[in-house]
Amino acid sequence: MEVSKLDQVLNALSACVLFIDQNRKITFANHAAQQRFGEDIVDESLVRIVRNPEFLAAIDRINAGEDEAEVELTIGASPSATFEVKLHALGEGLAKNAKIAITFEDVSQIRDAQLMRSEFVANVSHELRSPLTALAGFIETLRGPAKDDGEARQRFLALMENEAARMKRLIDDLLSLSKLQGKERIRPSGEVDLVQILDHVIASLSPVVEKERKTINISNDSEIQNIVGDHDELIQVFHNIIENAVKYGALDSVVDVNVSVSENIGAVNGPAVIVSVKDEGQGIQAEDIPRLTERFYRADKSRSRIKGGTGLGLAIVKHILNRHRGRLEIESELGQGSTFKIILPIG
């Protein structure tokens, strides 16, 4: 193959490709490599780009006679990228004095997904282990010291009921996440009455509102009624967001729910309905806000568990809104409360 033709083929690849000579000088870099490492890297030393000892040792092995080698390395910081790197010895006679061909395949997303899966399993195990351990302890106590103590039995049975309910909530949320991931790419096609959904959610939260000594005020600055969406999923979204506002707001405070319409929202590329839920709570630290929709992430871990949270509610909200091609925006300031905006496209 002519060198010019070879260049064309290599430049068409999404993987970064470098040729180096026996002194580690770069003799060729395809377009992907130039975009990743810099347009002026040809004729530079490879060590300027990668100083990883394992990688450099692999080059030495190829120069010493091995045909190929493979390493995985991370380059850069904030953000870094993880590459699967393959090195191949080149035969004699190739132009540009190239001795080794090196390909860099970006596997960052794969490694991130593997890490997320591992962390998810660890978190689920932890969340289930705590109530199971508590249940085992209560059962042991009821069979032993509290065997004939009616008062203690009633107290422990109530605690066991709470722990069982906690596990049920977690399992229900895990099942919801699983279902949503299976259909997240398929946008709902039905129409729903948004105001009716909000009225239903607020009515269903009456016991919680009374217990938490809150008041919910709802206002509608639009004439919107029907939007494209899934009825049950949107009930889940608004129930989660409004319930959080009720639970985490200050005692004897107000939760404001406002419905408005914007003719052009960049987040959804067109007209949208915006439901803002504002509480009068203690607020959320700025560094916590971008992570609130991560699975099992809690800005206030102890308070969340006391309130019965599973750490999955906002992750579920995010997936539902993704399916609806909508967005969740969070604004908060310590001591000033928080506002959660649910943005849904109209039509």
HEC-encoded secondary structure of 139-187: HHHHHCCCCCCHHHHHHHHHHHHHHHHHHHHHHHHHHHHHHHHHHCCCC
Q: CATH classification of 110-183 is 1.10.287.130, yes or no? A: yes
3-state secondary structure of 218: strand
**146 falls in which pLDDT band (50, 70, 90)?**
confident
| Distance of alpha carbon 254 from alpha carbon 242, whole angstroms | 11
Say if residue 78's pLDDT is above 60.
no
Q: What mean pLDDT is predicted for residues 87-114? A: 80
Strongest mean pLDDT among 108-112, 126-130, 220-224, 311-315: 311-315
Strongest mean pLDDT among 5-9, 26-30, 96-100: 26-30
Say if residue 136's pLDDT is above 90.
no
Mean residue pLDDT across the chain: 85
Higher pLDDT among residues 179 and 299, named by residue: 179
CATH class of 3-106: alpha beta
Higher pLDDT among residues 71 and 165, named by residue: 71
Q: What fold is seen in the domain 187-347? A: Heat Shock Protein 90 (3.30.565)
Does an H or E element contain 259, and which?
Answer: strand 253-265
**1 falls in which pLDDT band (50, 70, 90)?**
very low
Residue 261 pairs in a beta bridge with: 273
Dihedral of the alpha carbons of 16, 22, 26, 27, in degrees to the nearest 10 = -100
Say if residue 300's pLDDT is above 70.
no
CB 242 within 8 A of CB 257: yes
| Distance of alpha carbon 28 from alpha carbon 37, whole angstroms | 12
Among 9-13, 114-118, 280-284, the least confident range: 114-118
Bridging pattern class, strands 327-332 and 338-345: antiparallel
Say if residue 184's pLDDT is above 50.
yes
Domain regions of the chain by residue span: 3-106, 110-183, 187-347
| Distance of alpha carbon 202 from alpha carbon 209, whole angstroms | 9
CB 102 within 8 A of CB 20: yes
**113 falls in which pLDDT band (50, 70, 90)?**
confident
Find where tokens 């302890």 sit: 137
pLDDT attached to residue 234: 95
pLDDT attached to residue 267: 67
Say if residue 346's pLDDT is above 60.
yes
Higher pLDDT among residues 309 and 287, named by residue: 287
% the chain with pLDDT above 90: 35
| Distance of alpha carbon 89 from alpha carbon 187, whole angstroms | 50
pLDDT attached to residue 31: 92
Q: What mean pLDDT is predicted for residues 126-139? A: 84
Find where tokens 């009616």 sit: 150
Among 97-101, 230-234, 251-255, 309-313, the least confident range: 309-313
pLDDT attached to residue 222: 79
Does an H or E element contain 306, and which?
Answer: helix 301-306
Q: What mean pLDDT is predicted for residues 33-60? A: 89
